[in-house]
Amino acid sequence: MAEAETLRILVFGAHPDDSDLRVGGCAMLYRRLGHVVKFISVTNGDTGHYSIGGGALARRRFEETQAAAAVADIEYEVFDIHNGELVPDIPTRKMVIRAIREFVPDVVVCHRANDYHPDHRAVGQLVHDAIYICLVPNMVALTEPMHQTPVLLYTEDAFTDPAPFRIDVAIDIEEVLERKIDMVACHVSQVYEWLPWADGVLDEVPDGAAERREWLGTRMRKRFGNTAERSREKLAALYGPDHSAGVQAAEVFMISEYGRKPSEDDIRQLFPFLPRQ
């Protein structure tokens, strides 16, 4: 890959807001350098609420993705598959193959295939099943096959069965953290309604817009600060110990064996906001 090449980053999340929470900061760092980023939500999120659902919620969540996309200056597609009903079957695999081939990414990002949510697991399985087939001309034959397998990365999780998440790449997102929080805040139905309800803290969410944003910001700064703390060793390896000691927010990734294996030099080219050695 040439130094000046425009990178293409494709992120699969199970639901509207999944990719924003896990990759939103890196998306902004890529876009600031002129690279191309696309998020795909593989379900429409139509059950992710405590009082509304169906088509009305799916449309609302689609609108939230488009508002978030405007904040991050990315493309955001939503597949019209019911929330909670995603399965790694052949028709859906073909959708994922087409999406990858048509975008021609250098990097694909997704959930791991072990997770609490069946939709998250299904996304991991679908991408595993699709990533190699993208090179096979006679499968999904009406789309142009790729000539190189993309690098495949997993987003962070806390699950240990059958194996824990491994931090292979850690990115300092502190300089775009507030914009990332603004992006996440676009998912009103989730961050101010559904998730607080599910966590039993809905009564803590303020009414005013500024107060709600500060409430969310406090939670998000803690979340991504904890990620930075967990990844301090990898941050030091990539940024140097002096820089890493002060990082207050990070996003982290695990390199999947199902995609192309990047070298250390590849990693710095694929994450061009990392310092050069």
Residue 246 included in any domain: no
Mean per-residue pLDDT of the chain: 96
Residue 222 included in any domain: no
Residue 277 included in any domain: no
18-32 and 177-185 are packed helices; what angle lies between their axes, rounded to 10 degrees? Answer: 140
pLDDT in tens, 17-50: 999 999 999 999 999 999 999 999 999 999 999 9
Residue 238 included in any domain: no
User: Would you state the pLDDT for residue 49?
Assistant: 97
In this structure, which amino acid lies at residue 24?
G
| 5: its two tokens | 């090449």
Range of the domain at 17: 8-173+251-270
Chain centroid, CA 252 distance in Å: 10
DSSP codes, 109-177: EE--S-SSSHHHHHHHHHHHHHHTGGG-TTSSTTSPPPSSPPEEEEE-----SS------EEEE-GGGH
User: Would you state the pLDDT for residue 276?
Assistant: 84
Residue 105 included in any domain: yes
Please give the model's pTM, rounded to 2 decimal places.
0.96
Residue 198 included in any domain: no
Reduce the secondary structure of 218-246 to three states and give it as a string. HHHHHHHHHHHHHCHHHHHHHHCHHHHCC
User: Would you state the pLDDT for residue 3?
Assistant: 53
CATH number of 47's domain:
3.40.50.10320
- When divided into structural domains, the chain yields a total of 1
Residue 235 included in any domain: no
Closest CA to 47 of 83, 86, 80: 83
| 8: its two tokens | 């293409």
Closest CA to 114 of 102, 96, 128, 131: 128
Stretches in the chain below the pLDDT threshold 50:
1-2
User: Would you state the pLDDT for residue 121?
Assistant: 97
Residue 245 included in any domain: no
pLDDT in tens, 76-100: 999 999 999 999 999 999 999 999 9
